[in-house]
Structure 1
Amino acid sequence: MTARLKALGAAGVSVWLDDLSRERLESGNLAALVADGSIVGVTTNPSIFAGAVSKGERYDAAVAAHAKAGTGVEEVVFDLTTEDVRNACDVLADVYAASEGRDGRVSIEVSPTLADDEEGTVAQALALWKSVDRPNAMIKIPATDAGLPAITRVLAEGISVNVTLIFGLDRYRQVLEAHLAGIEAAAAAGKDLSTIHSVASFFVSRVDSEVDARLEALGADVALQGKAALANARLAHQAFAEVSASERWTALAARGAQAQRPLWASTGVKNPAYPDTLYVSELVTPGTVNTMPEATLNAFADHGEVTGDTVSTLYDGAAADFAALTEAGIDLADVIHKLETEGVEKFVVSWGELLDTVQAKLDGVTIS
């Protein structure tokens, strides 16, 4: 663990790795990152698994066994991904215990094809939880219209949830409400609230990519570029702080409920003109998570800087940046709507690629 990553952790930011593969597990790479304290959690998504299965031969033996058994492709994908997550949970078990459940977490996502299916989402969340069979797993559910009630229902079952694909403030407030309702339902059912953890994955870099392109098309002041994503995240944290101070949450916390921590996702910089650690160093505040692709993790370890709280001290500036963007002609509601729609669509495409990759491997097995 470098001094820079240690400083990030000391500032209250949990560093999770946004990547997982059988290669990382079997080579000992993940265990090494955990052992030296570089990371304390892992997130996955359909894109990550599609890339993992398409590269190398680590999955071939398992696929061959399924081919000989005549297993369908979706069942094979379910088996491969839950096995990887289960094994990653075991690697992170000591971190989970030491942090009393806050960290040591590994997330696995319901199929993005269920984004508009509340019942299907709940059913698959329960199936994933049962299959992984580890207390430090987290089930990822997208913050869609159908996903919101599913989040409440899954939390009510005592299952830890990573709410994903959050782009805008209005949607994030709905996520905060879904979490409160879920924890209240769990309390009413007699669940141990201290064991139910949740994070809300607020996507960052894609906001700048979309807004910057619109600013350029409008011929707006270039000084406004690179402002939207950070302002959006900081205002989201303000909403989190407001809920955390509410009587409703205080009553739940008194019964052992755990806060739904903001998680900064999509933190790899997409514009090469921006510092490659921008969405890490500028989103430092206690009680948050930053899940990073390996390139961003390595960049921060090499030259990232922690300069204090760069979130809760900047709420007013974030509001001013939003006002300036609106004045420049940016329709922020339209930006968020487009990103939400595209976010689901991109994961559906990645899911299809994952199924196609596994099907090709199944088809390539010679059955004697």
Structure 2
Amino acid sequence: MAIGASRNSPLQKAQSLGQSIWCDDISRNLIKSGRLEDLISRGVTGLTTNPTIFEKALNATHDYDLDIARLVASGKSNKDIFEELSIFDVQKVADALMEIYTDSNYTDGYVSYELSPNLADDTAASVEEALRLFSLINRPNLMIKVPATSSGIEALRKLISLGINTNVTLIFNVDTYEAVVRSYLSGLEDLVANGGDPSKVFSVASFFLARVDAAIDGVLKAKKGAAGNLNKSAISNAKIAYQKFTQHFSSPEFNALKLKGAMVQKPLWASTATKDPGLKDTFYFEELIAESTVMTMPEGLLKAVLDHAQVEKVISPDSIDPLKQISEIKKHGVDIEAVTSDLLAAGLESFAKSYTELITTIDRKRHSLNIKGYQSLFSHSQILNPAYKQIEQENIISRIWSHDHKLWHESPREIIDRLGWLEITKVMTPRINEICSFAHEINQSDFDYVVLLAMGGSAFAPELFSQIFKATRNHRKFYMLDSTHPDWVKSVSESIVLEKTLFIVSSKSGSTIEVDSFYLYFRDLIEQHVGSENAGKHFVAITDTSTPLAQLAKAQNFRKVFLNPENIGGRFSCLSFFGLVPSALQGIDVKSIITNVETMIVKSKLEDLELNEPARLAATIAAFSAQGIDKLVIITSPSLSTMGVWTEQLIAESLGKEGGDVIPIAGEPLLDPDSYGNDRLFVYIKLATDDNKSKDLQVEKLMDSGNPVICIELEGPAQIGAELYKWEFATAVIGALKHVHVFNQPDVQAAKDFAQNGLNFYMKEGQLIKAPEVLSVVDLFSLAKPGDYVSFLIYLSQTSSIDTAINRIREVIAKKFKLATSAGYGPRYLHSTGQLHKAGPNKGLFIQLVEPDSNSSNEVDISGAGYSFRVLNNAQANGDLIALVEQSRRVSRVFIAGTPEQTIEALSNQVLSVNVPS
């Protein structure tokens, strides 16, 4: 019995009756994720594979990409790459099954490896290739798989005579099966005659089931009165074969060989997943349990068998008369021999096609940006290796999962109570129905607008989900407000119909001044339109337990309050209520987002860094930044532009302190390679369904120029949750590598305090505190040094024309100074890059763009606050300026004169006039 297996499971019951259970699936993920050990513990005693299975594994994941990149770099051909990848997998599976192999006296515990389908009709070449592979793979429990063609059957005899374990596949009828058995017996006789040991060679004959039923039933369905014979061909065929098996292996011929140690050639029931949706999924398993047989099945069917299969009957050669059933089928004009002959031809064609597609997939991958990205990193292996070793030597992965706070800080404060995001699927999966039920309730209402009132970590993820799922969102218009600029607030209020608007008030602390101000403003407007007694129905709260917002929501009769787990920090909350509730209200499938996260969680637990994508990403970023390549430039495809902003916020606020030296750069114009300094590590995150041709070419130019590039490709929108989790875990690992406390934000509060002081002064004196004197733009750039970056701090209402103007000046700076540039609108950036600006490396040149204090034409009052949005926005700009000066940062302030676009153009001209420091 397999270690840890239940004696009462269907697999174990079948094994107790003499049937071995094998899995028809091999992949790198299966091997390294722990799923293989789990399958073995549940009673699986062998595995099989073929080109189709391997091709699917290559296409479905990026698990092989790193190895493909290495093999391409070493000059390997596509065929050689396939062989090396697949042999590695087969060797690992063989090792995992070795104990079963020895304990069963060599009657179980095998892994099959298929010959190239191109050899199906060449006996000599098949034997030669089988001998080469058996020697190369070098595992006694390897089984070479050959097809049941006449040449393959002839090859079987030769291979058995040479002591090579053989799996004969694609058997569809009894005549072929008997030919296979006879060839096996002849091979044993040859082996004995040559002085070989027949007790060390084993074989199975793979008899296919579902394909037979599908083909014959296709004929029967066209015959009148034949309906009663559907789904009976394969079982009857197999039972006749089993009768032949017992006859041959109880014959005097075999008994003589048995005395010398020979083993029976077990029938292996293959193609066991039903193709008729009307059949029970475990049909073939339940019908063909028999002594001295093997049942192989895909992993999905294994799960079904473990879940609900019945093990109640065992076939024996004397208890059934399958010939009668086959005769009945033939009476309806079915030429079974012709049908099964066609199935063999189709099977060979299918495997040949899969092999061709497999080689094509490898060829496509070898030319993909992902592979080229890996290759762009290989030349920097001397940089990367220390980070990989540190992760292993300090047991960083296991210590993260054991919540060891000392990875980041000696004190557990704000660490052990901030790690709830690690098991986010366990936390949120039980709550998905609650979210979806509420979304359904809102769908039945008259709400045509949803407005999210949020800042920082509570805001970025819903904005990203809204963008990437744009094609599948519902009719409801979604707006996010995370700016206190009066024009921005006014643009939202003027875009909605208040009576038809649902507001989501989102704040982890429940006391964020911006969110509080948004709520006061819109609550007053709603009450004016629907009355105070009905106003609460227009508000939903997302916050932690016992926060001021939670209490307010209860007191003011909010429609719904979602209380988020307190042990999930704000910037790590994207997959919690903060990210999922606003998304569900837009009609986004939040269940698929969460479901896909589990795969990345499994990967993040692996000690093997080749499969632990988050840890590998972390090691790469940390290693380069330690060498002064500290600007992490985030490039995205069109549907993922907000991903750059989200990632920038996560990294900047988590690592921008205590010596953290990673400076994320998002939204920078993508330029020719000669416009960049040597301090850039590029990461290109793209959605496969986007039109990426132009950016692909630009990124390829970066690689060709020797720049290190990490390429990440998402197959579809539903993968976004897994990708966000990857970056969260990677950030935690980077923090551990650099011993930075990633879960606090000590310097964000400074700007908040200065802003609050300004508001207090305003409410007492009627004016804001005077801002400190700062550098002129010319003086600022005269202090620029290689390795610096320029950051625009924009206290304006965002428009596409301002964005365009900012991008133009960012391009000017990059080309003239080769400096990285970032840009953020205030006060939203205070909750993201603000931490980095004040406590990260002192490499920033900060340019604050503000409107004159005298500009009161855009006043928007906040009911009951004692100040307007204009005053709040200006106080926040002043507070941030003071905080930057207090930290001895290089900063300039530019007041808007004329239009913002004109001011930015004039600023660009000033920058062009500055001499580049030598």
TM-score by length of 2: 0.39
Q: Distance in 2 between matches of 1:315 and 1:347?
A: 34
1:23 pairs with 29, 42, 54, which one? 29
Task: Give the 5 Å matches for 1:91-102.
Answer: 91-102=96-107
**Alpha-carbon distance change, 213 to 220 in structure 1, aligned in 2, over 3 angstroms:** farther
Q: Distance in 2 between matches of 1:133 and 1:37?
A: 27
Aligned equivalent of 1:296: 301
Q: Distance in 2 between matches of 1:61 and 1:346?
A: 28
Q: Distance in 2 between matches of 1:305 and 1:162?
A: 28
Local SS of the residue matching 1:199: strand
Aligned equivalent of 1:219: 224
1:106 pairs with 105, 111, 114, which one? 111
Check the 8 A contact 1:85/1:108 in 2, yes or no: yes
Q: Quick one: which amino acid aligns to residue 352 of structure 1?
A: T
Q: Unpaired segments of 5 or more residues in structure 1?
A: none
Aligned equivalent of 2:327: 323
1:4 pairs with 4, 7, 10, which one? 10
Check the 8 A contact 2:58/2:64 in 1, yes or no: yes
User: Does 2:31 correspond to 1:33?
Assistant: no
2:358 pairs with 336, 354, 358, which one? 354
- Identity percentage over the alignment? 38
Aligned equivalent of 1:260: 265
Question: Shift in Å at residue 314 of structure 1?
Answer: 4.2
Check the 8 A contact 1:281/1:310 in 2, yes or no: no
1:57-112 Cα offsets, whole Å, 9 max, x none, are 21112111111111111111111111110010011111111111111110000011
Q: Quick one: which amino acid aligns to residue 24 of structure 2?
A: D
Local SS of the residue matching 2:238: helix
Local SS of the residue matching 1:256: coil
Question: Shift in Å at residue 168 of structure 1?
Answer: 0.7
Q: Unpaired segments of 5 or more residues in structure 2?
A: 377-918
**Alpha-carbon distance change, 313 to 276 in structure 1, aligned in 2, over 3 angstroms:** farther
1:159 pairs with 161, 164, 168, which one? 164
Check the 8 A contact 2:166/2:204 in 1, yes or no: yes
Q: Quick one: which amino acid aligns to residue 248 of structure 1?
A: E
Task: Give the 5 Å matches for 1:182-197.
Answer: 182-197=187-202
1:209 pairs with 189, 193, 214, which one? 214
Aligned equivalent of 2:127: 122
Q: Quick one: which amino acid aligns to residue 282 of structure 2?
A: T
Q: Quick one: which amino acid aligns to residue 92 of structure 2?
A: N
Q: Point out 4+ residue stretches in structure 1 off by more than 6 angstroms.
A: none
1:253-285 Cα offsets, whole Å, 9 max, x none, are 111001100000000001011111111110011
Q: Quick one: which amino acid aligns to residue 30 of structure 1?
A: L
Local SS of the residue matching 2:275: coil
Question: Shift in Å at residue 250 of structure 1?
Answer: 0.8
Check the 8 A contact 2:287/2:313 in 1, yes or no: no
Aligned equivalent of 1:332: 336
User: Does 2:287 correspond to 1:282?
Assistant: yes
1:107-157 Cα offsets, whole Å, 9 max, x none, are 000011111111221111112111211001100011101111111111111
Aligned equivalent of 2:277: 272
Question: Shift in Å at residue 313 of structure 1?
Answer: 4.3
Local SS of the residue matching 1:273: coil
Check the 8 A contact 1:141/1:151 in 2, yes or no: yes
Q: Larger relative contact order (C-alpha < 8 A, sep ≥ 6)?
A: 1
Local SS of the residue matching 1:218: coil
Q: Quick one: which amino acid aligns to residue 230 of structure 1?
A: I
Aligned equivalent of 2:399: none
Q: Quick one: which amino acid aligns to residue 67 of structure 1?
A: V
Question: Shift in Å at residue 303 of structure 1?
Answer: 1.1
Q: Distance in 2 between matches of 1:10 and 1:347?
A: 34
Q: Quick one: which amino acid aligns to residue 77 of structure 1?
A: F
Question: Shift in Å at residue 221 of structure 1?
Answer: 2.2
Question: Shift in Å at residue 18 of structure 1?
Answer: 0.5
Aligned equivalent of 1:247: 252
Q: Distance in 1 between matches of 2:127 and 2:156?
A: 8
User: Does 2:367 correspond to 1:363?
Assistant: yes
Check the 8 A contact 2:148/2:176 in 1, yes or no: yes
TM-score by length of 1: 0.97
Question: Shift in Å at residue 181 of structure 1?
Answer: 1.0
Q: Distance in 1 between matches of 2:222 and 2:118?
A: 33
Q: Distance in 1 between matches of 2:362 and 2:229?
A: 44
Q: Distance in 1 between matches of 2:278 and 2:193?
A: 51
For the pair shown, the structure with the greater C-alpha radius of gyration is 2
Local SS of the residue matching 1:245: coil
Check the 8 A contact 1:284/1:311 in 2, yes or no: no
User: Does 2:70 correspond to 1:65?
Assistant: yes
2:154 pairs with 140, 149, 153, which one? 149
Q: Distance in 1 between matches of 2:66 and 2:125?
A: 30
Check the 8 A contact 2:22/2:296 in 1, yes or no: yes
Aligned equivalent of 1:200: 205
Local SS of the residue matching 1:202: strand
Q: Distance in 2 between matches of 1:206 and 1:311?
A: 23
Local SS of the residue matching 1:229: helix
Check the 8 A contact 1:285/1:312 in 2, yes or no: no
Aligned equivalent of 2:312: 307
Q: Quick one: which amino acid aligns to residue 18 of structure 1?
A: D
Q: Distance in 2 between matches of 1:311 and 1:166?
A: 21
Q: Distance in 1 between matches of 2:153 and 2:103?
A: 31
Local SS of the residue matching 2:289: coil
Local SS of the residue matching 1:53: helix
Q: Distance in 2 between matches of 1:72 and 1:188?
A: 41
Question: Shift in Å at residue 315 of structure 1?
Answer: 3.7
Q: Distance in 2 between matches of 1:314 and 1:352?
A: 45
Question: Shift in Å at residue 47 of structure 1?
Answer: 0.7
Local SS of the residue matching 1:146: helix
**Residues matched between the structures, number:** 366
Local SS of the residue matching 2:167: strand
2:91 pairs with 77, 86, 99, which one? 86
Q: Distance in 2 between matches of 1:221 and 1:148?
A: 35
Question: Shift in Å at residue 189 of structure 1?
Answer: 1.5
Q: Distance in 2 between matches of 1:261 and 1:351?
A: 27
1:33-61 Cα offsets, whole Å, 9 max, x none, are 11x23201101111111111112121112
Question: Shift in Å at residue 312 of structure 1?
Answer: 2.7
Q: Distance in 1 between matches of 2:315 and 2:300?
A: 22
Aligned equivalent of 2:243: 238
Local SS of the residue matching 2:150: coil
Local SS of the residue matching 1:92: helix
Q: Distance in 1 between matches of 2:11 and 2:70?
A: 41
1:177 pairs with 170, 175, 182, which one? 182
Q: Distance in 2 between matches of 1:95 and 1:244?
A: 24
